[in-house]
Amino acid sequence: MGVSCAQAVAVPFRKVVVADDHILVAQGIERLLMECFESIVLVSSGEELLASLHREAPDVVVSDISMPGLSGIDVMRQVRSEGCLTPFVFLTMHDESSMAAEAIRAGARGYILKSAAGDELVRAINGVMEGQTYVTPTLAANAIVSSGRSQYVLTDKQLRILEYVARGLRSKQIAYELGVSVRTIESHKYAIMQELGVHGTLELVRKAELEGLIRH
């Protein structure tokens, strides 16, 4: 039995951008995700993907790696440098663990082979939207070893807090930026430290940089 987004969440996610230069592939992904998202935007090049992200950040991006112009990884790196934390899931024919490692090291939250079953993509998106990282099992072990990165489970909010901490903001400032209480920020910071196995802010930033969880 396949896995649907409707089985995993009470309300569909809002928006996904699907980037693939093969229109039949993109339309197939669109059909697969129709129950999962209220809005599905299809683009066929790296430049179109970048323009779409600049207009409005979606909940998640599902992208091929090799496309005309900018690659999917190039686009992800550019928007990350601009402060966009939208999770990227790469759906690709590249079955080399080194390519998967590069994508994960650059900040991807998912890496799935096009030869995989459709429900694997849905499972991966569900996991990514819960803050997890997903790599096709046949590549996962080698990809993680090659990238030197562990699969820490942090939510999007925790990743955003990490970014602010790395910029030197104090909990009160972060709380103001995110519109939450200082206690909430401190609680998230404690959870992040527990996840990364560190005990102080400086150690947290160093470990997060080492693991590729934050970039300057």
Same topology between domain 5-147 and domain 156-210: no
Q: How large is the average pLDDT for residues 138-142?
A: 61
Say if residue 40's pLDDT is above 80.
yes
Domain ranges of the chain: 5-147, 156-210
Q: Which CATH fold topology does 5-147 show?
A: Rossmann fold (3.40.50)
What architecture does CATH give domain 156-210? Answer: Orthogonal Bundle (1.10)
Q: pLDDT over 70 for what percent of the chain? A: 86
Per-residue confidence at 98, pLDDT binned at 50, 70, 90?
confident
Structure tokens at 80: 């990350």
Strand order in the sheet with 134-135: 37-43, 13-19, 60-63, 88-92, 110-113, 134-135
Strand partners, 19: 43, 63
Entry pTM: 0.62
Confidence grade of residue 89 (pLDDT, cut at 50, 70, 90): very high
**pLDDT for the residue numbered 134:** 85
Q: Over the stretch 143-185, which tens digit does the pLDDT of each residue have? A: 454 444 455 667 778 888 988 998 899 999 999 989 989 999 9
For residue 91, what are the β-bridge partners?
112
- Checking if the pLDDT of 11 tops 50, the result is no
Confidence of residue 215 (pLDDT cuts 50, 70, 90): low
